[in-house]
Amino acid sequence: MTEHVLSEQVEEPASLGAGRSLWQDAWLRLRSNRAAVASALVLLLLALAGFIGPWLVPHSYDQIYPQYVRVPASLEAYPKQDRIVPDFQSALERARITIGDVELSGSVVRAPVSDDEPLDPRITRYVDRSDLFDNARLQDADGNPLAEGASSGFMVADVQRLRFLFGTDANGRDLLARILIGIRISLAIGLLASFMALALGVTYGAIAGYFGGRIDNVMMRVVDVLYSLPFIFFVILLVVFFGRSFVLIFIAIGFTEWLDMARIVRGQTLTIKRQEYVQAAEAMGVSSAGILKRHVIPNTLGPVVVFVTLLVPKAILLESLLSFLGLGVQEPLTSLGLLIAEGASNMRGAAWLLLYPAVTLTVILFALNFLGDGLRDALDPKDR
């Protein structure tokens, strides 16, 4: 009962005087930065595209269309109009029957066929065998199934219309679907690796910086040693031991990127440690863990948030590098880096294979960098 009465007394003034925290201030500043807001929207759209896009695209990222290898990007549906009639004719010619004029209406092709003998219904297989046509059937003039023993009628088949907005790759897979899945993988690796670097780096750096002295020395020398490991060598080692996998990539990237984070946070901590509010907490007898949790880490977060937004594109680039070198994700799964690598090897004949993934990656990186810049200005307006 008393508890209740007390909390009621408390509620009232609280609503009167809710203040604006530094985070809210930063948010207001960020919102007035058009480039940053636009970048955030672009990122949101791309993230949505990566997340739900693959379900909306009619093709699966690993479905192969052998007859459509390396077709260029086009708004028109495949097969192209001018290819349907000759293909239909050549398919029918194999049946050794007499063919009249082929007519195309919508997604249905129709040709009068006749023969000296009664038409064998099995000749539809010649048409079905082609990847362009489906559901081939023999009909009479009224569109009813052809009566048995008739020697003339119409061969009708549905045309499978496929759209490849971004074209297909060298294996005949839809590039759009692959780019969407690539966005998903790249963003996921970027975020996960950055998160890992964040968690490791902030904890490690704050502890080293706060305790200082010998602890700091030992901890930072460990960082120096890890720094001296060549990244690619480290990744190759990991791949050799554990095999190629998605998890391994972000672990590898996170494991190398947390070193920068640890150094940044340690530097920040060294200056924060000398702030009077930390000394005040010490004088009050707050434990080291309490000081780290309540004072040091929240006050390092400004620069850390900025670094993370710049770390995400870095992680995406590193993943691209690994995939480009063949150490990254495995086919048929793909990432933007892998797509660019494939595009690079097909550059001459099929420029779109390089162009679309590269543009996507560039847009992502631009947006992340703009957002990072905006965040820095918002969180640290003094530095402008």
Partner 1 sequence: MAGEKVLSLRGLTVDFATPDGWVQAVRGVDLDVARGETVALVGESGSGKSQTMMAIMGLLASNGRAGGSALYRGQEMIGLPERRLNRIRGEKITMIFQEPMTSLDPLYRIGRQIAEPILHHRGGSRAAARQRVLELLELVGIPQPERRIDSYPHELSGGQRQRVMIAMALANDPDILIADEPTTALDVTIQAQILTLLAELQEKIGMAIVFITHDLGIVRRLADRVYVMKTGEVVEQGETGPLFAAPTHPYTRMLLEAEPTGRKAPPNPEAPRLLSGRDIGVHFSLGRSWGGEEALLKAVDGVSVTLRRKQTIGIVGESGSGKSTLGRALLRLLPASGSLEFKNQDISHADRARMRPLRRQLQLVFQDPFGSLSPRMTVGQVITEGLIVHEKDLSKSERDRRAIAAMREVGLDPAMRNRYPHEFSGGQRQRIAIARALILKPEVMVLDEPTSALDRSVQKQIVDLLRDLQEAHDLSYIFISHDLAVVRAMADYIIVMRHGQIVEEGPAEEIFEAPRAAYTQALLAAAVDNRRFRTAVQEAAK
**Residue placing its CB nearer to partner 1 in the complex, 16 or 240:** 16
Q: Which residue has the tokens 């990539």?
A: 249
Binding partner 1 (rule: CB under 8 A), the pick from 236, 251, 286, 317 is: 286
**Residue placing its CB nearer to partner 1 in the complex, 189 or 265:** 265
**Residue placing its CB nearer to partner 1 in the complex, 26 or 248:** 26
Binding partner 1 (rule: CB under 8 A), the pick from 100, 212, 298, 326 is: 298
- Site for partner 1 contains 67 (CB under 8 A): no
Tokens for 234, please give them.
């480290």
CB burial string 195-219: b at 16+ within 10 A, e below? bbbbebbbbbbbbbbbeeeeebeeb
Number of Cα atoms under 13 Å in the Cβ half of residue 71 = 22
**Residue placing its CB nearer to partner 1 in the complex, 214 or 384:** 384
Nearest-CA neighbor of 175 among 2, 9, 346? 346
CB of 211 to partner 1, least distance (A): 12
- Site for partner 1 contains 376 (CB under 8 A): no
- Site for partner 1 contains 32 (CB under 8 A): yes
- Site for partner 1 contains 294 (CB under 8 A): yes
Binding partner 1 (rule: CB under 8 A), the pick from 82, 101, 276, 383 is: 276
Fill in the amino acid letter for 306: V
Binding partner 1 (rule: CB under 8 A), the pick from 147, 229, 277, 326 is: 277
Give the span between the Cα atoms of 116 and 352, in whole angstroms.
50
Give the span between the Cα atoms of 241 and 238, in whole angstroms.
5
Binding partner 1 (rule: CB under 8 A), the pick from 280, 289, 325, 344 is: 280
- Site for partner 1 contains 384 (CB under 8 A): yes
Give the span between the Cα atoms of 121 and 117, in whole angstroms.
12
CB of 220 to partner 1, least distance (A): 19
Tally Cβ neighbours within 10 Å of residue 6.
10
Binding partner 1 (rule: CB under 8 A), the pick from 1, 56, 75, 283 is: 283
- Site for partner 1 contains 29 (CB under 8 A): yes
User: H or E stretch including 153?
Assistant: strand 152-159
> What distance lies between CA 247 and its chain's CA centroid?
15
CB of 63 to partner 1, least distance (A): 51
Contact pattern for partner 1 over residues 322 through 351, marking x by CB under 8 A: ------------------------------
**What secondary structure does DSSP assign to 103-136, as a single string?**
EEETTEEEEEEE-SSPPPGGGHHHHHHSTTEEEE
- Site for partner 1 contains 7 (CB under 8 A): yes
Fill in the amino acid letter for 133: F
Binding partner 1 (rule: CB under 8 A), the pick from 63, 107, 275, 330 is: 275
- Site for partner 1 contains 16 (CB under 8 A): yes
CB of 201 to partner 1, least distance (A): 19
CB burial string 49-70: b at 16+ within 10 A, e below? bbeebbeebebebeeebeebeb
What residues make contact with partner 1 under the rule CB under 8 A? Answer: 3, 6-7, 10, 13-14, 16-23, 25, 28-29, 32, 275-277, 279-287, 290, 294-295, 298-299, 301, 384
